[in-house]
Amino acid sequence: MAMSSKESATALKRTVIIAIFAAVAVVLSIVEAQIPLAGMGLMPGAKLGFANIMILTCIFFLRGRDAFVLVILKTLLTAFLLGTFSSLLFSLFGSLLSFVVMFLLVRFGRKKLSVIGISIAGGLAHNTGQLLAASMVFNSTSILYYLPVLLVTGIVTGILVGFAVRYLVASLSKISLFEEFLN
């Protein structure tokens, strides 16, 4: 497949943006893994989901398949670095469900929902997806006991992530690397 130099420059820019976003998302995941949420009465293993900032921002600038690559990269790299391979399947399930929900809302629900609403929906999809995957593996619905609490915390972190994305998109739009991806 022959590409003009302009096309290949765009492709290169996309690759660079995905790489930078993946690096930032992994760092955010590592930082939040150090926060002892279980000590605050939450379900152990619960995360703040700050890596979602990068994924939602990516959905805004790039194409769906680019954001999809970012989700896979972030999940695999985090599992490598934190050694949480045993739960890779669960985080992948949650991340992918969250990605699909956010992608559809950004493409088709922008008129109704703001960034904050989309971020909340993504966070809720992530929590629900993980618990559903776990309940399928255990063949038991008792793990859904934690769903109501996770829904409430998902709203709170979703609002925080949403505000971060709003400021990040505004700031990145001023950088020349992102110029041609504005829409």
Kindly list the residues in this chain that would bind another protein in the complex (CB under 8 A). Answer: 38, 44-45, 83-87, 90, 109, 112-114, 116-117, 120-121, 124, 134, 137-140, 142-143, 145-149, 151-152, 154-155
User: How far apart, in whole angstroms, are the C-alpha atoms of residue 24 and residue 29?
Assistant: 9
Q: How far is the CB of 143 from another protein (least distance, A)?
A: 6
Nearer to another protein, 34 or 139 (CB): 139
CB atoms within 10 A of CB 8: 11
Nearer to another protein, 31 or 151 (CB): 151
Question: With contact defined as beta carbons under 8 Å apart, do 157 and 140 qualify?
Answer: no
Nearer to another protein, 10 or 87 (CB): 87
Q: How far is the CB of 159 from another protein (least distance, A)?
A: 8
Nearer to another protein, 100 or 147 (CB): 147
Structure tokens at 54: 């990068």
In this structure, the chain runs to a length of 183
Q: How far is the CB of 62 from another protein (least distance, A)?
A: 24
Nearest to 108 by CA among 64, 156, 72: 64
User: How far apart, in whole angstroms, are the C-alpha atoms of residue 80 and residue 85?
Assistant: 7
